[in-house]
Structure 1
Amino acid sequence: MSSRDQQPGLLTVEEALQRLLEAARPTADIETIPLTAALGRVLAENQHSPVDVPPADNSAMDGFALRFSDCTPDGEATLPVSQRIPAGTVPEPLQPASAARIFTGAEVPPGADTVVIQEQCQWDESAVRFSGAKPQANIRPRGQDIEKGAIVLQQGRRLTPQDLGLLASVGIAKLPVYRRLRVAVLCTGDELVEPGETLIPGHIYNSNRYMLLGLLQALGFDCVDIGIVADDSEATEQALLKAAAEADCILSSGGVSVGEEDHVKACVDKLGSLDLWRVAIKPGKPLAYGHVRDVPFIGLPGNPVSVFVTFAITARPYLLKTQGASDCSPLTIPVVAGFSRPNSAKRQEYLRARLVPDDQGRQRAELAGSQSSGVLSSVCRGDGLVIHKLGEAISEGDQVLFLPFPDLLY
């Protein structure tokens, strides 16, 4: 990328994100919670298995357990049935030259080294005849999945449903996790009214408040809802002080530019410190980071799609790192562009797109309506964001990077 590809004085998205992540200070507060309450929480310590999984050799199939030495070299035999072993029972040692009826998940009896699946057998209550037995077949050895003492999950992991199942499988009932981050949300603007109120001329409904609260709740944070803040210096200062007293981080939409009615910048400067960055990102451009009474502050733009994109690309990784998460980067997948953007991008653009399979079975990204920063409906129509890289053009059929919404929102 040459210097002509970027508007002068703008940070790249990567530079802005690096600054934010370097400034993030992970929380140190830990609490112990039951496994049933741990979904989405961040592990504060490595978790080691206190047991082997499985705890003993067990059968992978319904069939018969036996010694392979009791078979012919081709794996054939007729043997008396000496015991029946359902799952959940403790077997007796296998009698010599006999077989045990065994079921999936049941412990293999001492002395047995093979399980023949029932489809290869003919049997009654007293004897079984089979062919095709193979040594060690259909036996899941002790510790095959997890060995006692092994690290099951590492510190910093955001717990998923499958993680909870894994922890349960080794008998862990309680977990040390980082305390939920408290994030204060305030929306600035005299033009804003709440849904349900009468919309008068010159006003708009406050969509940013509900979107930001939803984004934070989906990530597992606790929200401090400050509400709408008037375009007034005193009101802005009081709202920021309230947010700083009640939250671990403050998130605002609007009011961080340099206009006469943008009071957030001056108030944050007065109450702490503020860096206002101009970032080569579209939608969006102004991004503020600073502190109010030592509480971190992030100021996002005011247009709703700009709020959504800048939150997903910059604020989300910062907040997750502050929460203690070790992996804050969203998944990116290559897809085929089903559109053209012939002009070289002066700012790295995040295009709302939906995925449609093409006639070759490949995922093809098509634009989800207008890409204006005020058209929030295109976010709802899309499946994710296509990255239009800084300094590049896109032709239909090019490979582009796609950020799926589920990986940006949860």
Structure 2
Amino acid sequence: MNNNSQSLTYTQALEHLRAQALSKQSEEEVPLISALGRIVSSDQVAHRNVPVADNSAMDGYAINAEAQSASGQRFPVVGQTFAGHPFDRRLTEGQAIRIFTGAPIPEGCRFVAPQEDCEAEDGFVTVTRAFDEDSNIRRCGEDVRAGDTLVSRGTLLKPQHIGALAADGLATVPVRTPLRVGLLSTGDELVRPGNLLESGQIYDSNTFLLFGLLSSLPVNVTDLGILPDERDVVRERLTALQGTFDVIITSGGAGKGDADIVGQVVGELGNIEFWELAIKPGRPFMFGSINGCNFIGLPGNPVAAVVSFLSFARPFLLARAGAPFTEAEPVLLPAGFAIAGRRPGRREFLRAKRRFDGAGGEFVEKYRHDGSAQISSLTFADGLVVLEETLTDVTKGDPVPFIPFSQVGL
């Protein structure tokens, strides 16, 4: 057991996690249709050009003529072509064919005139304006050339990646196996929704919050229920779970107090570092391992649990699953609030919402309260304002770092 009592900064905690986030996941081949949200295990290189042949970007007329002097000229229409049905001969000088979007460009075509710039009558078409050579022609390999890297190793596959791989003709893709994650809440006071509350009890919201956050990651999550504040039960449950999961995540019991039984038991069963982080909310954070299974202990207050998950657990889990270890990249927006006399020394995360003023300018409005138990602040917010360690004052209009929730899967 490594019991480190030193309070770590936000940056120090991330660097520690980065060093520990070594992917051990094996590789499997999965159908492309089910690869969304998985992590690619090797670079995916294009096998062919996209487009595979020159084709039309418009419905209109493919014409063999000088494009820049075409305005007012009248051309005989000698056929037509559709996507998937090439024209069977070369266009000679001064000829045109009716062409539709995606149709192969016939040999001899020098430009495509959109139908709205043409007047068709009695087997002829008149072009109403001049064009540049190659206008409205999508050339072979214009989008992707054979040998280009379509998707890099470690990429979390999104719909656009799936589309690029499909355009290359792939039916399957090699990906990392999902992390097996066990999720536990802790505390005698917790009751699952749907049950009646007794005196001193509250509903367990963290399981549902964290389950939702984990759903955007390449993991298979198992809800392991609620652990009571009983050392023997906690020890028995955690012992039984060894070898079953790659990562176990708990909420509550992450501190070093007498009532924080989970941390005590994890320290006895494996190797644990207790972190008192210099952040707000989310000061108590626990990271360690039990027989090769990583263990993450989040704070019990819902907002603190979410901030800790987004800041530390999410980048660790992504890297552990095979993606690069990356931090959120804030954007700078004017503050719609003021803060005076803030005590420096820790990084603070305020729940905030992007707003627009009457002139179209953008700013961020912070939630009216900063408490770490106020789940209403999460439904109000669409991101987090970051107050860095050295900051003491914020004047209304000052640029402040803002992390949109959309950037971190929330």
Q: TM-score surpassing 0.5?
A: yes
With over 3 angstroms needed to count, the CA separation of the structure-2 counterparts of 1:52 and 1:354, relative to structure 1, is same
Q: Give CA deviations for 1:50-106 in whole Å, capped at 9, x if unaligned.
A: 22111111111222222235x785655333222211222011232423222211211
Aligned position for 2:121: 124
1:149 is the counterpart of 2:147: yes
Give the drift of 1:339.
Answer: 0.9
Residue 47 (structure 1) aligned with residue 44 (structure 2): yes
How many angstroms does 1:199 deviate by? 1.2
Q: CA deviation at 1:18?
A: 1.0
Moved more, 275-284 or 115-124: 115-124
What pairs up with 1:232-247 in 2 under 5 angstroms?
A: 232-247=230-245
In the other structure, the counterpart of 1:409 is: 409
Matched AA of 1:64 = Y
1:302 deviation in Å? 1.6
**TM-score, with structure 1 as normaliser:** 0.93
- The residue number in structure 2 matching 1:204 is 202
Q: CA deviation at 1:15?
A: 0.8
Matches within 5 A, 1:157-176: 157-176=155-174
Q: What is the TM-score with the length of structure 2 in the denominator?
A: 0.93
Q: Provide the aligned C-alpha RMSD in A.
A: 1.9
| Aligned-partner Cα distance in 1 for 2:398–2:249 | 37
Matches within 5 A, 1:48-63: 48-63=45-60
- Post-superposition shift, 1:121? 2.5
Pairing partner for 1:270 from 268, 272, 289:
268
1:380 alignment partner AA: T
The question of 1:384 aligning with 2:380 is answered: no
Deviates more, 1:269-278 or 1:343-352: 343-352
Q: What residue is the counterpart of 1:396 in the other structure?
A: 396
Look up the match of 1:64.
Answer: 61
Output the CA distance in 1 between the equivalents of 2:274 and 2:153: 33
Change (3 A) 1:303 1:72: closer
Which AA in structure 2 matches 1:312? Answer: L
Matches within 5 A, 1:286-325: 286-325=284-323
Aligned to 2:80: 84
Which sections of structure 1, spanning at least 5 residues, go unmatched? 1-7
Say if 1:305 and 1:72 are closer, same or farther in 2 by CA, change over 3 A. Answer: closer
Match of 2:132 in 1: 134
Identity %: 37
Moved segments of 4+, more than 4 Å: 71-76
Deviations along 1:289-314, whole A, 9 cap, x unmatched? 11111211111112111111101111
User: Counterpart amino acid of 2:394?
Assistant: I
SS at match of 2:406: helix
Matches within 5 A, 1:350-361: 350-361=349-360
Contact kept in structure 2, 1:303 and 1:374, CA below 8 Å: yes
The answer to whether the 8 A contact 1:355-1:365 is kept is yes
Q: Distance in 2 between matches of 1:242 and 1:124?
A: 82
Is residue 96 of structure 1 aligned with residue 82 of structure 2?
Answer: no
| Structure 2 unmatched ranges of 5 or more | none
Write the letter of the residue equivalent to 1:90: P
User: Kindly tell me: are residues 74 and 34 of structure 1, through their superposed partners in 2, closer, same or farther at Cα, counting changes over 3 Å?
Assistant: closer
User: 1:317 offset after TM fit, Å?
Assistant: 0.5
- Residue of structure 2 equivalent to 1:248: 246
Secondary structure in 1 matching 2:285: strand
1:227-269, CA deviations, whole angstroms, 9 ceiling, x for partnerless residues?
1111122211122223333211111112232222212222112
Residue in 2 that maps onto 1:4: none
CA distance in 1, matches of 2:210, 2:115: 57
Is 1:217 the counterpart of 2:242? The answer is no
The residue type paired with residue 209 of structure 2 is M
Deviations 1:266-296 (A, max 9, x none): 2112211111111111011121111111211
Count of aligned pairs between the two proteins: 402
> Quick check: 1:232–1:263 contact (8 Å CA) kept in 2?
yes
For the 8 Å contact 1:335–1:362, the answer to whether it is kept is no
